[in-house]
Amino acid sequence: MTTLKPILTAIAEGETLTQAQAESAMHVMLSGEADPAQIAGLLMGLRSRGETLDELVGFTKVMREYAIPVETDLDPIDLCGTGGDHSGTFNISTAASFVAAGAGVPVAKHGNKGVSSSSGSADVLSALGVRADLDAEGVSRCLEEAGIAFLFAPQFHPALRHVGPVRRSLGVRTFFNILGPLCNPARVKRQLIGAFSDPVARQMAQILMRLGSEHVVVVYAHDGLDELSTTSPTTIYQTGSHAFDGGLLEQEVVPEKFGLARVSAAALQGGTPDENAEIVRGVLSGQAGPQADVVLLNAAYALLASGEYDDLDACLEAARESVASGGALAKLDALVAVSTELSEAA
């Protein structure tokens, strides 16, 4: 198929797509063969109707195929979010990534520059001194030598250039907004993912179940954060060994359950990349307070997804020890050193 016309006709007539049809449509879009007007029609048609699970599984499967792969013998985890929550918080999952790595779990963090915020993960990492645009070989080296690496999404998903202009022109959310966290080029099987809405969180967990993930925790905070929050309850969708009968476990957690104080949204606010870098380095250096609490909470659930710890209490203790021992900060320093060396040698 080299045109989206049959797919558009089916959508216009109220039909849902099979997974195979969704895969075919995605191949047309990512190969550069699709007409921009047809891409726009597909995106808006599905946005208006709402995508089915089969459709999203098909789109995700093909986007993974077009990604530049990162080869590693490790079993890394990823901590990332959909973004788009317009919360203005500091980079919580980025800080939590170093805490998880400091607890001995390799981390392949997939991310981008800020879109709905001034400081995406790539922005704050650059401000911290990390070279955030390494290629696949460089990322593999960082994983091996530092135990943590950053995968800059545009570097690994070049095929998205074929849909980028249409997405920017439309200026609204489409299914592409949720595909990024589902398509880590290191092919991770264990993840902590934050979503911008409750239905999207459930959907993402179901997609990853279908695609063979081993343990995934997808979260949506009731205050709108795409992170586990200490300002409100958080709904969690969990797959893997902690779910019932291999299904999807839904829970609601509050910060008080972990002995953490509930705080106002203002306590988690960030700013520019440089300001957020200062916050992240402070948390990793052991500065206590609301910012550290929310990072530890997210790191604990990431460690749970890793399968290295038996329960949440052990995960939270490991996260605290990662910071107290200097392990988390050492992982940041190691990533700065290794990524800089690789970038300068390129």
Distance CA 41, CA 10 (A): 12
Average pLDDT over residues 24-36: 97
Determine the distance from the C-alpha atom of residue 284 to the mean position of all C-alpha atoms in its chain, rounded to a whole number.
20
pTM score: 0.95
Mean pLDDT of 246-275: 94
Q: Name the nearest CA neighbour of 64 among 236, 179, 155.
A: 179
Is the model more confident about 113 or about 190? 190
* Single-letter residue type at 258: F
Q: Is residue 148 pLDDT above 90, yes or no?
A: yes
How many CA atoms are closer than 13 Å to the CA of 19, on its beta-carbon side? 10
Confidence of residue 118 (pLDDT cuts 50, 70, 90): low
Tell me if 207 sits within 8 A of 186, measured CB to CB: no
Confidence of residue 113 (pLDDT cuts 50, 70, 90): confident
Give the pLDDT band (50/70/90) at residue 241: low
Please state, in angstroms and rounded to a whole number, the distance separating the CA atoms of residues 157 and 66: 7
Q: Give the span between the Cα atoms of 192 and 201, in whole angstroms.
A: 11
For 140, residues 6+ apart whose C-beta sits below 8 A from its C-beta are 70, 71, 72, 149
Query: What is the chain's length?
Result: 346
Sheet holding 215-221: strands in order across? 148-152, 107-111, 77-81, 190-194, 215-221, 234-238, 249-253
Work out the burial of residue 7: count CB atoms within 10 Å of its CB; fewer than 13 is exposed, 13-18 middle, 19 or more buried. Answer: buried
What is the rounded CA–CA span in Å between residue 339 and residue 131? 5
Alpha helix locations (H) across 34-162?
36-49, 53-66, 92-102, 121-128, 136-146, 153-156
Taking 90 as the threshold, does the pLDDT of residue 201 lie above it?
Answer: yes
Stretch 269-282: mean pLDDT: 96
How far, in Å, CA of 64 to CA of 185, rounded? 7
Q: Which two tokens stand for residue 246?
A: 């291999």
Domains of the chain listed by start with CATH number: 5-66 (1.20.970.10), 77-338 (3.40.1030.10)
Question: How far apart (Å, rounded) are the C-alpha atoms in residues 175 and 54?
Answer: 13
